[in-house]
């Protein structure tokens, strides 16, 4: 859960009370809250965790990290949508209670 993914800020906007950015993670673009990184500008790379930019990263490092995450298959997991999460859960067997008395089967 503490996985954080670096991406490039493509645009910045203010929506209501939030400063938001469109951040590109190697082709996948997400809207990210920039309130914790007031110094961030368009073109910067930022480390993002659950929709929040946590720190500014230099470009070389970001590209490097992205490539490795792609390698490790971790990017898909961090950015998985609801459908994917449920699909993954559906593949797992139902939980049983510890003593087996409530076997869901």
Partner 1 sequence: MKYLTEFRNGEIAQRIAQQIHQITTRPWKIMEVCGGQTHSIIKNGIDQMLPSGIELVHGPGCPVCVTPLELIDRALAIAARPGVIFCSFGDMLRVPGTEGDLFQIKGAGGDVRVVYSPLDAVELAVKNPDKQVVFFGVGFETTAPANAMSVHLAKRRGLKNFSLLVSHVLVPPAIEAILQSPGNQIQGFLAAGHVCTVMGYWQYPPLATKFGVPIVVTGFEPLDLLEGIRRVVAQLESGRSEVENAYERAVTFEGNQAAQQLLNEVFAVTDRAWRGIGVIPQSGWKLSEAYRDFDAELRFDLTGIHTIESPLCHAGEVLIGTLKPDACPAFGKECTPRHPLGATMVSSEGACAAYYNYGRFLSAEDLAGAGSGLTDIAHG
Interface with partner 1 (CB under 8 A): 1-4, 6, 17-18, 30, 33, 35-38, 47, 49-52, 54-55, 57-58, 60-61, 63-65, 67-68, 71-72, 77, 79-82, 84-86, 88-90, 92-99, 102, 104
Whole-number minimum distance, CB 41 to partner 1, in Å? 16
Q: At 55, is the secondary structure helix, strand, or coil?
A: strand
Whole-number minimum distance, CB 12 to partner 1, in Å? 16
Q: Which residue has the tokens 């993670």?
A: 25
Dist CA 70 CA 66 (whole Å): 6
Angle, vertex CA 50, rays to CA 6 and CA 38, nearest 5: 65
């Amino acid at each position: 859960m503490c996985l954080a993914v670096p991406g490039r800020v493509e645009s910045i906007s203010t929506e209501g009370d939030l400063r938001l950015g469109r951040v590109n993670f190697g082709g996948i673009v997400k809207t990210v809250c920039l309130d914790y990184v007031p110094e961030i500008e368009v073109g910067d790379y930022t480390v993002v965790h659950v929709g929040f930019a946590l720190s500014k990263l230099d470009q070389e490092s970001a590209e490097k990290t992205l490539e490795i995450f792609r390698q490790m298959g971790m990017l898909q997991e961090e950015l998985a949508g609801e459908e994917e999460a449920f699909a993954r859960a559906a593949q797992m067997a139902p939980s049983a209670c510890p003593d087996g008395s409530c076997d869901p089967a």
